[in-house]
Structure 1
Amino acid sequence: MANATKRWLFIALVVLQTVIFGFGNVLTKIAYSDITPLWCLVLRFGLALVVFGALFGHRIVRQLRQVSVRSWLPAAVCMALSYIACNVALDLTTATNVGFLVALPVVFAPLLSSLVNRKRYPVAFLPLQGAVVVGLFLLCGNGGTLAFGLGEALALLSSVALAGALVFGERGLENLDVCTVAGTQIAATLVISLAFALVAEPVVNIAAVTPLAWGTIAFLALASTCLTFFLQNKALTVLKSSTVSLLLTGEPVFTAVFSLPMLGEMLDGRGFAGAAIIVVAVVCATMLEGRKGKQPAAAPAFGIAEFPHAVIEPTWRDRRAA
């Protein structure tokens, strides 16, 4: 009975995480009336890095000195590209569309894992891929015509990049702990966002940023970055990764829920049908991967799905024990 109660408690924590993500997507779009997308990212991840560094800085630096850059850089760059593409997409299209499109890493991750780890792609996922294509057409349809613009393309790119972060992140977790992987991803997102912001957007006037925008940035940094990372990884100590990834597909649902009263965005019948097809396909892909894959000792800091691969170096735990 105690174990069942504990399990339901952690399920509730993951659901809370999806609520925070969905609410954060809507708040981000509201904040864009006062601050540009890339500078919003810079301020968000700058604050998150300060907090994360204060809590785990010495631990992160100590571990990074023991491994090569390739242990963490690919996952960190993919995560940075995922967040940049997602936040720019929020400025170009509806939060509802972005919320659904960025919920697809569990569909793309098996294909990327097959390519990176040179494993056979599971044929059982092909029908799910086809279902997602149908769902995307219905979701992005406007009056019967396909309205797949730059915003939707960037949201889809964000999903693919996040899948890459999961595949490479799993490899990195063989040599680093969860906090270190998360810290490198936060730092990389800050650096790359800053580079893009300096090139593509006018320098932000800090004095002109409104209290509402600052409040949004603080929420995104503290709740939608630091807190959600903690909730997800804490939940993975009790729940299987397939269970957590299944629960995380609720993010676009909460994005749509918050978008209606706060942004006035409403899906039509075709949109609801497409969204339902996408969610069902993502859930099926997650459950299928959960049955096929083994449960590793640790899960990616931003993980939605996990895939087995060969361990090629001693883990950070082995080196510490030695």
Structure 2
Amino acid sequence: MARRSSARWPFVACVVLQTVIFGSGSAITKLAYESITPLWCLVVRFGLAALVFGLFLGPRIVRQLRSVCVRDWLPAALCMALSFITCNVALDLTTATNVGFLVALPVVFAPLLSSIVNRSRYPFAFLPFQGAVVAGLYLLCANGGAPSFGWGEALALLSSMTLAGALVFGERGLERLDAATIAGTQIGASFVIALICALAFEPPMDVASVQPMAWGVVAFLALLSTCLTFFLQNVALSALPSSTVSLLLTGEPVFTALFSFVILGETLSMTGLAGAAVIVAGVVAATWLEGRRAADADDCLAHAPASGAHAEAASKAVELPQVALPLPERRSLAADRTA
């Protein structure tokens, strides 16, 4: 059981690394906005990321997409695209702390959406941890003040809802496709929708006026905060439920606050530090509990004896192939069953 539990932690580490990269990206994104508008920043970011994915994984992605239906990948791709567009526009309309609090709320939406889409039981055992994390996020992002609510906050909340959709539908898509293909479709859809929105709502980008620092930020966002993080997220979803991934992603505001202190000189009050501590404690406790529950369930299944209809089905599954097997192979199969 300990071996099964420990096998989960590399996937947990993938999400933690993703939150670190996202947190650093959130802290430096506004530096790019000094010379490039949010939507055109997204166009360049996802265009570069799509180019990288196309060069290294294009044939593989196309080959996999030909073997599945559009509904296997399009919902997750559209949700991820809408999440990034609304989040980046929100950053231009309100404070990063308010955006950080609201964008980290898939922990609330993902379990509910998963129970609806997958027709599964809502994980009520995680409600105390979800409540603690939401309280910690408020303390961290309010930072001793009272957060306001306007268009920026509304877009950030929409970003949180659509990110929850990307997690839930991405988890389902991974039943038919691998992590690289799901990530590639999300990047491609984000580029197309960002380009449409930029052409519709912003003036043409003045390339000559974009500062070298902004190009560096965009390159970081494209290669690490897009290519790598999208891949890490989908690798994690191949082994962890979307509710667990959404809970782990609530650590992003903690890293955002840390990098904002280092890069931008922003500081946290004692209330903000207390909120960060509550988030870390809640995420660690919930992840440990979920791992124990999953390990216990796997252990019970591994040691449960076959009985009733299950035993009969297992017997049929073994016996049916014997009809078509030559005599030596039937003897070998019978010996295996006896052993």
Shared fold by TM > 0.5? yes
Corresponding residue of 2:27: 26
Distance 1:235 1:67, change over 3 A: closer
Kindly state the Cα deviation for residue 165 of structure 1 after the two structures are TM-superposed: 0.7
Residues 93-140 of structure 1, C-alpha deviations (whole Å, 9 max, x = no match): 333443444333344211110111222322223334443453454345
Please report the TM-score for the alignment, with normalisation by the length of structure 2: 0.73
> In 2, distance between residues paired with 1:16 and 1:135?
20
Letter of the 1:50 partner, please give it. L
> In 2, distance between residues paired with 1:209 and 1:174?
42
Kindly state the Cα deviation for residue 196 of structure 1 after the two structures are TM-superposed: 1.8
> In 2, distance between residues paired with 1:32 and 1:78?
24
Kindly state the Cα deviation for residue 230 of structure 1 after the two structures are TM-superposed: 4.6
Corresponding residue of 1:206: 207
Q: Is the 8 A contact 1:106 1:285 kept in 2?
A: no
Letter of the 1:254 partner, please give it. F
Say if 2:257 is the partner of 1:262: no
- Between Structure 1 and Structure 2, how many residues are aligned? 292
Corresponding residue of 1:75: 76
Corresponding residue of 1:193: 194
Distance 1:143 1:196, change over 3 A: same
Please report the TM-score for the alignment, with normalisation by the length of structure 1: 0.76
Distance 1:281 1:22, change over 3 A: same
Distance 1:228 1:128, change over 3 A: closer
Distance 1:184 1:289, change over 3 A: same
Kindly state the Cα deviation for residue 81 of structure 1 after the two structures are TM-superposed: 1.2
1:166-315 matches, cutoff 5 A: 166-230=167-231, 249-292=250-293
> In 2, distance between residues paired with 1:24 and 1:190?
18
- Which structure carries more helix by proportion? 2
Letter of the 2:47 partner, please give it. G
Corresponding residue of 1:302: none
Distance 1:79 1:39, change over 3 A: same
- Identity rate, percent: 72
Letter of the 2:46 partner, please give it. F
Unaligned runs of 5+ in 2: 1-6, 297-339
> In 1, distance between residues paired with 2:280 and 2:156?
16
Q: Which moved more, 1:72-81 or 1:281-290?
A: 281-290
Q: Is the 8 A contact 1:140 1:148 kept in 2?
A: no
Kindly state the Cα deviation for residue 34 of structure 1 after the two structures are TM-superposed: 0.8
Distance 1:94 1:41, change over 3 A: same
> In 1, distance between residues paired with 2:10 and 2:127?
35
Q: Is the 8 A contact 2:179 2:231 kept in 1?
A: no
Corresponding residue of 1:122: 123
Corresponding residue of 2:300: none
Unaligned runs of 5+ in 1: 1-5, 296-322
Distance 1:235 1:108, change over 3 A: closer
Over the aligned positions, Cα root-mean-square deviation in angstroms equals 3.5
Bigger CA radius of gyration: 2
